[in-house]
Amino acid sequence: MITVLAVEDLEEGNSKGIEINNRYLFAVKKDHQLFLYWNRCPHLGTPLVWEEDRFLDADGALIQCSTHGALFKIDDGECLVGPCQGKHLQPVPFSIENGLVMVADELLQPPALS
């Protein structure tokens, strides 16, 4: 298992980019739940981040792609608006152990774009 983040390092309503061995993920904490996704849009595979640790729209209600402005639901990654409408961000399965977000080594291979 690889530690990707300490839960306390991410404040409610915020997002955070994570880099592990040249693989890029991001986390969002909303309604005291943590969500972890690959940092790439399902449309072109481009990074979603606007600037460091900024993945959310101005209201903090949706994830927003920096390339085309596509909007995604935080809880399941579904694209609501944009060129990838109906597709989903790719989640990264994780567990929380002693306040640390952990991912199994074998899960740190991004799946192919659909």
| 82-109 residue pLDDT tens | 988 989 999 999 999 999 999 998 777 7
For residue 25, the cross-strand partners are 18, 38
Residue holding tokens 């989903």? 88
Q: Which of 26-35, 41-50, 53-62 has the lowest mean pLDDT?
A: 41-50
Structure tokens that stand for 73 in this block? 């639901």
Complete domains list, the chain, with CATH: 2-107 (2.102.10.10)
Q: How many CA atoms lie within 13 A of 41 on its CB side?
A: 25
- Please tell me the pTM assigned to this model: 0.91
